[in-house]
Amino acid sequence: MTRIAHISDVHFGRIERKGVVEALVADVHAEKPDMVAISGDLTQRAYSWQYKAAARFVRSFEMPVLVVPGNHDVWPMWWPGRRVRTPVSRFETVITGELSPLVKLPEAWILGLNSAHGKTVKGGLVTAEQSERVRVAFKGAPDIRVLVVHHPLAPMPHASKSDVAVGGRGLLAAAAECRVQAVLGGHLHVVQNIRSEEGPMLVHAGTATSTRGRGQDKTANTYNIVILDGQSVVVERRDFDGLEYGMVRRETLAVSPNLMRPGIGIGV
Ligand SMILES: [Fe+2]
Ligand SMILES: [Fe+2]
C-alpha cells in the first residue's frame, strides 16, 4: 500500500488565512505519507518572493517530494519574451530543474509532467514526447503507477474547454497503456475524482492554502491523502477548519480492470 499526500494550487501570493501553511505542513507530517505530490500553481504570479516562499514550503517536508509547475508558475504576461521562450525557467531555477520527475517507492512509481506553457492565457499542453516519456519511465515499474499533471487531461465538470490540456487524450491513452491507475492534478480549485474513459482515475485536489477556491469549494482549503493498493484508489479529503486540517470525506474508487496486471483483481 502506498500513501501520497496530494497538494495542489498553494498559490503563494494569494494566501490570507492565518496559519494555514503551517497547519498543512504539520498535518502532512502527522499523516506520515510515503511521499508528497504537489500538482502545480505554487505561486500566484511567478514573482521572485512568491517562488522563494514556495521553495521554503517544498523543502519543509521530510518525505520525498515530487512537484510540477502550473500555469501560474510561468512568467506573467508582462514578460512576453520569457513567457513564450522559457515559460518555467524560474521554476527550474528555484524549485527544481527536473520537469518530468520520477519517484520510485517500493510499491509505486510516480511520474510528474509539465503541462504549463506560455502561449496561452491559462490553458495547458501535453505532447507526444511526454506520452513517450510515460512509456519509457514506467518500464519495469511495480503495479502501482501514478502520474502528476497540473491541468485536467479530459473534459470534466467544472472544467471549461480551455482548462483541459491540449493533447490530454493522447497522454491518457499512453497512461492507460502503461496501466497508470491515477492521475493527480489541480487547476480547477474544485475537488473532483472521476474515472476517465481510458481508465485512469482523475483526482483533482482543490486549493490547499489560497483564497482562490471555486464552486462548492469556494471557501475551502483542502488536500488529499491518496491511498493505492493496486486494486483501489482511496481519496481521503482533508480540509482546514481555521485551526487544523482533518478528514472530511473518504471515497473509494475501484481500479479499472484494464489497468491491473493479468491475474490480479476482477474481470481479467
Ligand atoms: Fe490554480
Ligand atoms: Fe492552474
Question: How far away, in angstroms, is 57 Cα from ligand 2 center?
Answer: 18
At residue 265, the pLDDT reads 52
Query: H/E/C letters for each residue in 50-117?
Result: HHHHHHHHHCCCCCCEEEECCHHHCCCCCCHHHHHHCCCHHHHHHCCCCCCCEEECCCEEEEEECCEC
CATH fold of 8-259 reads Purple Acid Phosphatase; chain A, domain 2 (3.60.21)
Question: How far away, in angstroms, is 152 Cα from ligand 2 center?
Answer: 10
Question: How far away, in angstroms, is 189 Cα from ligand 1 center?
Answer: 6
Q: pLDDT grade, residue 268 (50/70/90)?
A: very low
- Exposed/middle/buried for 229, CB within 10 Å: 0-12, 13-18, 19+? middle
Between 266 and 215, the more confident residue is 215
DSSP letter for 255, please. P
Question: How far away, in angstroms, is 41 Cα from ligand 1 center?
Answer: 5
φ, ψ for residue 111, nearest 5 deg: -115, 135
pLDDT surpassing 80 at residue 179 = yes
**Residues 48-103 pLDDT 10s:** 999 999 999 999 999 999 999 999 999 999 999 999 999 999 999 999 999 999 99
Helix H or strand E encompassing 129: helix 128-137
Report the predicted TM-score, pTM, of the whole model to 2 decimal places. 0.97
pLDDT surpassing 60 at residue 152 = yes
Question: How far away, in angstroms, is 104 Cα from ligand 2 center?
Answer: 26
Number of DSSP helices (H) and strands (E) in the chain, helices first: 6, 12
Average pLDDT over every residue of 157-164: 93
At residue 233, the pLDDT reads 97
Percent of the chain past pLDDT 70, that is, above it, reads 98
Between 83 and 264, the more confident residue is 83
**Residues 118-137 pLDDT 10s:** 988 899 999 999 999 999 99
- Exposed/middle/buried for 253, CB within 10 Å: 0-12, 13-18, 19+? middle
Surrounding ion ligand 1 within 5 Å at CB are 9, 41
Domain ranges of the chain: 8-259
